[in-house]
Structure 1
Amino acid sequence: MKLSNRVFSALLLISFIILATTTEMGLADKICKTRSDRFSSVCFSSNSCAIICQQFEKFEGGQCEFDGVFRRCLCTKAC
């Protein structure tokens, strides 16, 4: 019985370590967003926004999101 408790404890400890490592790695994938300087109108197409952000502002991408009342182009990159 003692052996099975030790095995169970070891498996539980290993699963906690794996879970903690996986969660920590997920935090590194945070996305930073910045309002586009070049896209000045209301944003209707995330595709157009992404093109402006990538080609002219050197970001990884872009998407339309509500910034207050209006939809604005927000450029994105990994933090």
Structure 2
Amino acid sequence: MKFSNRVLSSLLVISFIFLAATTEMGLADKICKTRSDRFTGLCLSDNSCAIICRQFEKFESGHCGGAFLRCLCTKAC
């Protein structure tokens, strides 16, 4: 079965576009986490942690995590 040059080049272009789109989507999914400097005590509420991270530390969000229940501020890398 022979493919014409036109079909092969179309498939190549579509493959390249698909590869570029999936690579860019993968970069957006990376999230950096940093322990909050302002949150004190055990982190028992994701909402409280997120408020501290957004208002005082200029991060996008935050959540409780880790073995010691610390507030972790998050942002896209």
Deviations 1:14-59 (A, max 9, x none): 2311221112212331211100011122212111100000111111
Q: TM-score, normalised to structure 1's length?
A: 0.76
Counterpart of 1:59 in structure 2 is 59
In structure 1, what residue type is equivalent to 2:62?
G
Q: Distance in 2 between matches of 1:5 and 1:42?
A: 65
Indicate which of 56, 60, 71 corresponds to 1:73. 71
Report matched runs for 1:27-66 at 5 Å: 27-29=26-28, 30-66=30-66
What is the percentage of aligned positions where both structures have the same residue? 55
Aligned residues: 76
Q: TM-score, normalised to structure 2's length?
A: 0.77
The structure carrying a bigger strand percent of its residues is 1
Q: Which runs of 5+ in 1 are unaligned?
A: none
Q: Which runs of 5+ in 2 are unaligned?
A: none
SS in 1 for 2:65: strand
